[in-house]
Structure 1
Amino acid sequence: MRKTLTTAVAALAVGSLVLTGCGQKNRSGGNQNGDKTTSASAPLAALNIKPRDQVKDGGTLRLAISTLPTSWNPMHIDNNLVDLDSIIWQFIGANNFDIAEDGTPKPNPNYIESAKVDTKDGKQVVTLHLNPKATWNSGRTIDYTDYQATWKSSNGENDEFLPSTTDGFKQITSVEKGDKNTDVVIKYKSTYPDWTATWRNVMPKEGVSDPDTFNFGWKKPNPDWFAGPFIPTKVDQTSKTLTVKRNDKWWGDKAKLDTVTFKAMDDAAKTKAFANKEIDVADTIITKDGYETAKKRDDADMRAAGSLQWRHFTFNTKSANLSNKDVRQAIVKGINRPAIAKSDLAGMPVSPDTLMLGNHFFMPGQAGYRDNSADDTYDPEAAKKGLDEAGWKMQGDYRIKDGKTLTINCAELTGVPTSGNEGALFKQDMAKIGVRVNLVNTPASDMEKVLTNHSFDVIAFTWQGTPYPMANVRQIYGATAADSTQPSQSNFSQLIDPEVEKLIPKVDTESDVSKRRELANQVDKIIWDDVMTLPLYRRISFTAVPKNLANFGAATFQTVHAEDIGFQK
């Protein structure tokens, strides 16, 4: 469940199994009939898939991102951002696996010719036969030593490394050479169904072999450390633009586009820039104004698909007034989740009530989904009773205990309308049950710092999923490792539940899919009960593009090779 963060919509990302029954087949655009999109009606992909011979050679694709990377190692805890991890990396990095429309992974032949999985005495062995033509831009062949260095940097054995997650890596006992340097033999402690989630990326050994380089050596993009169809050529801090060009050292199909630019801008600016034809793509459109602005462009095609993004509140369980589980349970009963969803999504062509989320791992309609939110249904009277029983008594407008007012500091990301709206509604809901809320203005650029320093009581942001919903549970909801007393670096709630810790290794290793889903739902119910996070709703992905853009758009899972993206002939 490796997750990733984006700051403009505050989205952080996750790993997963195959999505089934979630939507329709791939189509070139979404919501063409004007109907309200639901979780069930959203297509799995809207990418305008075209064969390479129908795509022009040349041209520039102008994309928008939330922020320019301040570091270029996507496996580092502070760089686990959607902009870098998913968008930019698609063009410049080693992407080992292609994801099909339904979420099924398969080796990307540009990097891995074949993969074999064997299990003996309950222990899994994965053998990768790498493409011998695959090289880093330095000219060095990608080989087993890169996989070995990537594993050692993220397996948690050396705590000087600061990886975004150790999940998947810590289950590995060795990474060794096979018959050739381009054969990689990966041995696991047990079975590990989501091994492809762990190895979706591989890093060059030069950039990850020691903690100092891993943590601090990626401040500027080193072209030698990338291995994609494009190569970074310029980072302009004045215009906040990254430029990548076609990589002459690329061994695969020649990239259709000459260049791709990534310009940092906020959501409102993004849709205006698209309407004015200053950029070619406006993705993650989440407001009525943005949607209507983007559609004004004369060649606009609004592509819609189901999304793995979901809004939620994270609770800092170590903060003074939220350390008591009874208090947290009472507070969430006072949060009107459906009202927040309707307000956030007002004017968008969606049905908010169908997007409400009752699970931390599975999306509505996905195999394994179960609504475990019943105990947290909006009930302000129950919330008041719970706070009374916890010793917080009303005195005037607010609740007092031991001479102190029940106060919550809610981080509100400046320039992020969704965050501001949710903060305001949270404050209103809390006032009704006697809880004072301070809305703390927090620059979106400081979000990573706020999360990792735990300098908040409550914060709303978006988790971004991947095709592996049951992978890496520990990353967000557990300790750094089994028997550790330290929460995972991405466990921003800081809560370690012994029952979750017992279930995590079972979820990680269970090979029977039905049993595994049941185990994941047991974990989910505990997370709801602990109030580590409070899911609100899932999003539908709306992406505005010019009609002639091929092999690009909105998708729940599906990936497309960057070298195939371009404009139709």
Structure 2
Amino acid sequence: MPRKYAGPVTAAAVTLSATLVMAGCSGSSDDSDTPKGGHASKGSAAPAVGSQQINPQPASRVKQGGTFKTGIQQWITQWNFYQVDGTQGDGQSIVSQVEPSLFTYDAQGVSQLDKDFLVSAEVTSTSPQVVTYTLNPKAKWSDGKQLSWQDFATQWKALNGKDDRYRVADTSGYDRISAVTRGTDDQQVKVTFGTPYADWKRLFRPLLPAPAIATPDLFNKGWLEKIPITGNSWKVGSYDKTAQTITTVPDPAWWGVKPKLDSIIYRALDASAYTDAYLNKEIDYAPAIQPEDYKRLVKDPGTDIRSGARWDEVHITFNGARGPLKDLAVRQAVDLAIDRKGILASFSKDLPFPVQPLGNHFFMPNQEGYRDNSGKWGRYDLAGAKKLLDAAGWKDNGAGKPRTKDGKQLVLQYVISAGSSSSATDQAQLVQAQLAAAGVTVKIQTVPTDDYFTKYVNTGAFDLVSFRNVDAVFHTLLYSTFQTPSATQVYGNFGRVATPEIQQLLDKAAATTDQSASDALYNQADAEIWEQVHSIELYQRPQILAVRKGLANFGASGLADTDYNTMGWTTG
């Protein structure tokens, strides 16, 4: 499952996903890589940064009206984008559709001012750093109140980490703000930072309404099963838990350009059901990345196959807070016993372009600043794994038998979602077989889809778990993933693996405004993260989608955001 980021997938935390978050669309497009309805030949290069295939069309070519139907991974329970249980990617995508995002991302992942919400936003002082936002006076919440500086101030107080009663997924960035004050009027906001912060554009994205998050109780419980107040061109029309559908509709009070579509219907589906639902015309797009799905979808005459280069990584998280994996030597041994190339070969055997092992937790291979820092921890070394386990006191009891220490067997629990894709299931089984060769028994536990994050990943009820972090165009969006947990907050570090050195490097990187110097610090932190075996990066997941022909301004958007106002059905 993907986990989304509060930046492009969440502004507060990274977005999580076990399957696929709804792809974004907007900005420019390059539809030259792959023929519509066809596919690139094996051996062609993966899509480059900035590439996307969204069937870009001007407004005159898009019908007014119609419905877009899509799948989501699960029923959404917690709708607060910033709450620890609100980081599921589909929920965050829907919240971003109905709440102000202030900035949008283009195909290059560059922030662009959204004039529907902001007249301007700029650094007006550097010592201390002050960012001044001037809000569009037309921008209003669904309760009729104007967006104001008080919304910024309330969000900062909820997210800055000073009150642990707010169950926050990520405090980074907000914890560097020293004050949020009123400017020349209620629609001007001055945000003062106690220490410099390079990625200030990822904050307050989305902006949430002050009355809905003003107390810990409202923040934690006021968004359960509903979004209490909205503030964008779309609003939620209905929640149907029986049918497992959520419908969004244009808000008639919207002050900007009217959306083209009449409605978007989101329906909870298991990953295995997407292809049949698409071919039966129950939904209008489906992931085409699984070989068995791609082979069926590419033959459908009413389908375009669209590909792009999204920030999207697949990894395995280790739980360093319980059981054998509390020992760094055991984590390192398990790391060496996992053959990443074997996992990639299984996953990518029928894809139209090659997939390489990912060597970095912060950068994708097609991003500037990428460096493979995996070193020895990215290489398969069964002999080295056995040597580490021997030294750690885990006795080798022979082939096919688990190692033992102090009367206990070396057994790890690998938790997967019941709604997982076939590649996720295959991956778990491959890891199980690979670790057995080192004397480590892996028990695969399949849990209900709706419980996967809230009851297992978020709570640390696992030894090994795999999900996706997506859309972390700003590296600070990953801060909470590697942040040192406190007594009451785990943030996004579900495996609880952290060191003072990693924390210091991330803190310094976040305050460094020089891009090359910042990149160097993130790469230093990354090397330490590999050595500590916080998680094993596997690969950048290609963005390959089957999309209904005639659907414009939507598809494989790469680094860009979804533009829900321009997407729709073509007139001819």
Provide, for residues 456-484 of structure 1, a one-character-per-residue CA deviation record: whole Å limited to 9, x for no partner: 1111111113321x21443011125xxx5
Provide, for residues 347-388 of structure 1, a one-character-per-residue CA deviation record: whole Å limited to 9, x for no partner: 222313x3x100000000211111011212001111111111
Contact 1:305 1:556 in 2 (8 A): yes
Name the CA shift for 1:492/1:222 in 2 (closer, same or farther; >3 Å): closer
**Matched AA of 1:463:** N
Contact 1:4 1:12 in 2 (8 A): no
Is residue 114 of structure 1 aligned with residue 120 of structure 2? Answer: yes
TM-fit CA distance, 1:59: 0.8
Q: What is the 5 A alignment of 1:198-209? A: 198-209=203-214
TM-fit CA distance, 1:159: 0.6
Please give the secondary structure, in 2, of the residue aligned with 1:528.
helix
Please give the secondary structure, in 2, of the residue aligned with 1:516.
helix
TM-fit CA distance, 1:509: 0.4
For residue 49 of structure 1, the aligned residue among 18, 32, 56 is 56
For residue 294 of structure 2, the aligned residue among 291, 295, 314 is 291
Contact 2:15 2:471 in 1 (8 A): no
Contact 1:29 1:303 in 2 (8 A): no
Contact 2:15 2:470 in 1 (8 A): yes
Q: Distance in 2 between matches of 1:184 and 1:304?
A: 40
Number of residue equivalences: 549
Provide, for residues 396-422 of structure 1, a one-character-per-residue CA deviation record: whole Å limited to 9, x for no partner: 322122222211111122231233211
For residue 191 of structure 1, the aligned residue among 193, 196, 199 is 196
- Partner residue, 1:255: 259
- Partner residue, 1:17: none
- Partner residue, 1:265: 269
- Partner residue, 2:364: 363
- Partner residue, 1:554: 556
TM-fit CA distance, 1:58: 0.8
List gaps (5 residues or longer) in structure 2.
6-11
TM-fit CA distance, 1:496: 2.5
- Partner residue, 2:19: 9
For residue 85 of structure 2, the aligned residue among 74, 78, 82 is 78
Name the CA shift for 1:560/1:442 in 2 (closer, same or farther; >3 Å): closer
- Partner residue, 2:419: 415
Q: Distance in 1 between matches of 2:341 and 2:134?
A: 49
Contact 1:27 1:43 in 2 (8 A): no
Q: Distance in 1 between matches of 2:488 and 2:368?
A: 32
Provide, for residues 182-234 of structure 1, a one-character-per-residue CA deviation record: whole Å limited to 9, x for no partner: 111101012211011112210001110000011001123246x1112121111
Contact 1:126 1:187 in 2 (8 A): yes
Contact 1:333 1:378 in 2 (8 A): yes
Q: What is the 5 A alignment of 1:96-175? A: 96-121=102-127, 123-175=128-180
- Partner residue, 1:506: 508
List gaps (5 residues or longer) in structure 1.
14-23
TM-fit CA distance, 1:160: 0.4
Contact 1:232 1:242 in 2 (8 A): yes
**Greater Cα offset, 518-527 or 3-12:** 3-12
Q: Distance in 2 between matches of 1:82 and 1:504?
A: 24
Q: Distance in 2 between matches of 1:145 and 1:28?
A: 46
**Matched AA of 2:499:** D
Q: Distance in 1 between matches of 2:195 and 2:563?
A: 33
Is residue 274 of structure 1 aligned with residue 278 of structure 2? Answer: yes
Q: Distance in 2 between matches of 1:491 and 1:454?
A: 9
For residue 444 of structure 1, the aligned residue among 445, 449, 466 is 449
TM-fit CA distance, 1:310: 1.2
Is residue 493 of structure 1 aligned with residue 491 of structure 2? Answer: no
Is residue 460 of structure 1 aligned with residue 466 of structure 2? Answer: yes
Contact 1:406 1:435 in 2 (8 A): yes
TM-fit CA distance, 1:313: 0.7
Contact 1:360 1:524 in 2 (8 A): yes
For residue 226 of structure 1, the aligned residue among 230, 235, 249 is 230
Q: Distance in 1 between matches of 2:458 and 2:226?
A: 24
TM-fit CA distance, 1:40: 5.5
Name the CA shift for 1:431/1:70 in 2 (closer, same or farther; >3 Å): same
**Matched AA of 1:531:** V
Name the CA shift for 1:296/1:385 in 2 (closer, same or farther; >3 Å): same
**Greater Cα offset, 270-279 or 290-299:** 290-299
Q: Distance in 2 between matches of 1:421 and 1:112?
A: 47
Is residue 27 of structure 1 aligned with residue 31 of structure 2? Answer: yes
Q: Distance in 1 between matches of 2:255 and 2:418?
A: 44
Q: Distance in 2 between matches of 1:91 and 1:85?
A: 9
TM-fit CA distance, 1:43: 5.9
Please give the secondary structure, in 2, of the residue aligned with 1:78.
coil
Name the CA shift for 1:40/1:557 in 2 (closer, same or farther; >3 Å): closer
Contact 1:315 1:533 in 2 (8 A): yes
Q: Distance in 2 between matches of 1:38 and 1:126?
A: 41
Provide, for residues 135-183 of structure 1, a one-character-per-residue CA deviation record: whole Å limited to 9, x for no partner: 1111111111111111111111111001221011111111111101111
Q: Distance in 2 between matches of 1:568 and 1:202?
A: 32
Name the CA shift for 1:332/1:528 in 2 (closer, same or farther; >3 Å): same
TM-score, with length taken from structure 1: 0.92
Q: Distance in 2 between matches of 1:39 and 1:361?
A: 19
Name the CA shift for 1:357/1:147 in 2 (closer, same or farther; >3 Å): same
TM-fit CA distance, 1:565: 1.2
Provide, for residues 38-63 of structure 1, a one-character-per-residue CA deviation record: whole Å limited to 9, x for no partner: 44657621112222122111111111
Name the CA shift for 1:228/1:514 in 2 (closer, same or farther; >3 Å): same
Contact 1:110 1:131 in 2 (8 A): yes
Please give the secondary structure, in 2, of the residue aligned with 1:313.
strand
Please give the secondary structure, in 2, of the residue aligned with 1:463.
strand
CA RMSD of aligned residues (A): 2.1
Contact 1:277 1:297 in 2 (8 A): no
Q: Distance in 1 between matches of 2:247 and 2:217?
A: 27
Is residue 340 of structure 1 aligned with residue 340 of structure 2? Answer: no
**Greater Cα offset, 424-433 or 273-282:** 273-282
TM-fit CA distance, 1:452: 2.0
- Partner residue, 1:18: none
**Matched AA of 2:209:** P
Q: Distance in 2 between matches of 1:174 and 1:89?
A: 26
Q: Distance in 1 between matches of 2:264 and 2:416?
A: 33
Q: Distance in 1 between matches of 2:96 and 2:545?
A: 17
Q: Which runs of 4+ in 1 moved over 6 A?
A: 10-13
**Matched AA of 2:152:** Y
TM-score, with length taken from structure 2: 0.92
Q: Distance in 1 between matches of 2:32 and 2:519?
A: 32
**Matched AA of 2:129:** Q
Name the CA shift for 1:126/1:297 in 2 (closer, same or farther; >3 Å): same
Contact 1:54 1:568 in 2 (8 A): yes
